[in-house]
């Protein structure tokens, strides 16, 4: 693969293995280098997610949370490239096949720890108003993939879902440091023990329900619905607000 000089110096002679798990629009590769394993993400500069935002978040999270370190970030010929270190272990989908209870409980405890972090000085705004504004921009520019909606919304348009967002928007919104997309492919475990988070491009200040909604959906899909209750029990929220969970799953359709 041809990469910019700022990336090339770290990956000379590396073996590139494509990674297909997850829903990121970026192409992801595991690189076997002489110095160890690295991960390379690349996407068009016109992609709605962007890798510069993730690089900024990873740098800010360093020392605050167990996340990959940024090795290099570069742009070249209309593409962005983000090279990061690897975390040990396997993602939550793989770990959950053998340790479903430990993974559900471990993710809950990791999110509870994350949401308790101080948000003073966090420069990343992921509040509802900011996300809805971004969603409107992406609908207007045709960047929302309507074929990737959850099953209950397939066949509807992004514009129709914007109407639902306005109708369902919660009247109360808490604030906490959130991952933004803590689905099991984005969480690393050693057996059933939490190791850290990856794919941190949506980290920011938001209502913790943002994380809870997407984590619970991922647990139901990948481990089984019987583990969702375990997740909420270990988070300390045995009776979650189902309307807020539904709202944040709806909002996620745009991203």
pLDDT of amino acid 34? 80
In this prediction, residue 2 has a pLDDT band, given cuts at 50, 70 and 90, of confident
Q: Would you say the C-alpha torsion 182, 184, 188, 192 has a positive or negative sign?
A: positive
Q: Of 19-23, 85-89, 142-146, 247-251, which gets the smallest average pLDDT? A: 19-23
CB 29 within 8 A of CB 44: no
| Per annotation, catalytic residue among 49, 181, 211, 252 | 181
Distance, in Å, from the CA atom of 208 to the CA atom of 31, rounded to the nearest integer, reads: 33
- Is the pTM higher than 0.85? yes
Outline which parts of the chain fall under CATH 3.30.200.20. 5-85
Q: pLDDT at position 42, please?
A: 93
Confidence of residue 93 (pLDDT cuts 50, 70, 90): very high
- What pLDDT shows up at residue 118? 94
Identify the pLDDT of residue 109.
Answer: 98
Q: If we measure between CA atoms, which residue out of 139, 184, 141, 189 comes closest to residue 163?
A: 139
- In SS3 terms, the chain reads as CCCCHHHHHHHCCCEEEEECCCCCCCEEEEEEECCEEEEEEEEECCCCCCCHHHHHHHHHHCCCCCCCCEEEEEEECCEEEEEEECCCCEEHHHHHHHCHHHHHHHHHHHHHHHHCCCCCCCCCECCHHHHHHHHHHHHHCCCCCHHHCCHHHCCCCHHHHHHHHHHHCCCCCCCEEECCCCCHHHEEEECCEEEEECCCCCCEEECCHHHHHHHHHHHHHHCCHHHHHHHHHHHCCCCCCHHHHHHHHHHHCCC
Q: What is the pLDDT at residue 33?
A: 85
What confidence score (pLDDT) does residue 14 get?
A: 87
User: Model confidence over 167-214: pLDDT tens digits?
Assistant: 999 999 999 999 999 999 999 999 899 999 999 999 999 999 999 999
CATH of span 90-252: 3.90.1200.10
- The CATH-assigned architecture of domain 5-85 is 2-Layer Sandwich (3.30)
Q: Is 211 a catalytic residue?
A: no
What is the pLDDT, as a whole number, of residue 1? Answer: 75
Across the range 23-51, mean pLDDT stands at 85
Average pLDDT, the chain: 94
Above 80 in pLDDT, residue 23? Answer: no
Residue 77 reports pLDDT greater than 90: no
pLDDT at 236 over 70: yes
Tell me the average pLDDT across 212-222.
98
pLDDT of residue 47: 67
The percentage of the chain sitting over the pLDDT mark of 90, rounded to a whole number, equals 84
- Which segments of the chain belong to CATH 3.90.1200.10? 90-252
Query: For the residues 11-31, what does the mean pLDDT come to?
Result: 83
Per-residue pLDDT, averaged over 75-97, amounts to 94
- Per-residue pLDDT band for 22 (boundaries 50, 70, 90) equals low
């Amino acid at each position: 693969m041809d990469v910019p000089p700022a990336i090339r110096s770290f990956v000379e002679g590396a073996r590139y293995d494509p990674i297909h798990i997850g829903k990121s629009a970026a192409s992801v590769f595991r690189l076997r280098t002489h110095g160890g394993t690295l991960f390379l993400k690349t996407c068009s500069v016109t992609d709605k997610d962007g890798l510069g935002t993730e690089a900024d978040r990873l740098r800010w999270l360093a020392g605050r949370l167990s996340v990959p370190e940024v090795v290099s970030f570069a742009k070249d010929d209309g593409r962005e490239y983000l090279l990061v270190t690897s975390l040990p272990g396997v993602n939550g989908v793989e770990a959950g096949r053998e340790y479903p209870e430990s993974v559900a409980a471990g993710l809950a405890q990791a999110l509870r720890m994350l949401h308790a972090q101080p948000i003073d000085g966090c420069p990343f705004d992921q509040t509802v108003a900011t996300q809805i504004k971004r969603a409107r921009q992406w609908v207007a520019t045709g960047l929302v993939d309507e074929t990737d909606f959850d099953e209950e919304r397939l066949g509807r348009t992004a514009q129709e879902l914007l109407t639902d967002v306005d109708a369902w928007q919660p009247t109360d919104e808490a604030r906490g440091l959130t991952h933004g997309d803590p689905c099991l492919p984005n969480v690393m475990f050693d057996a059933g023990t939490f190791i850290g988070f990856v794919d941190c491009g949506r980290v920011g200040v938001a209502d913790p329900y943002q994380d809870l909604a997407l984590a619970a959906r991922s647990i139901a899909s990948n481990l089984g619905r019987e583990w969702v209750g375990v997740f909420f029990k270990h988070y300390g929220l045995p009776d979650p607000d189902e309307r807020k969970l539904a709202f944040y799953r709806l909002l996620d359709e745009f991203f």
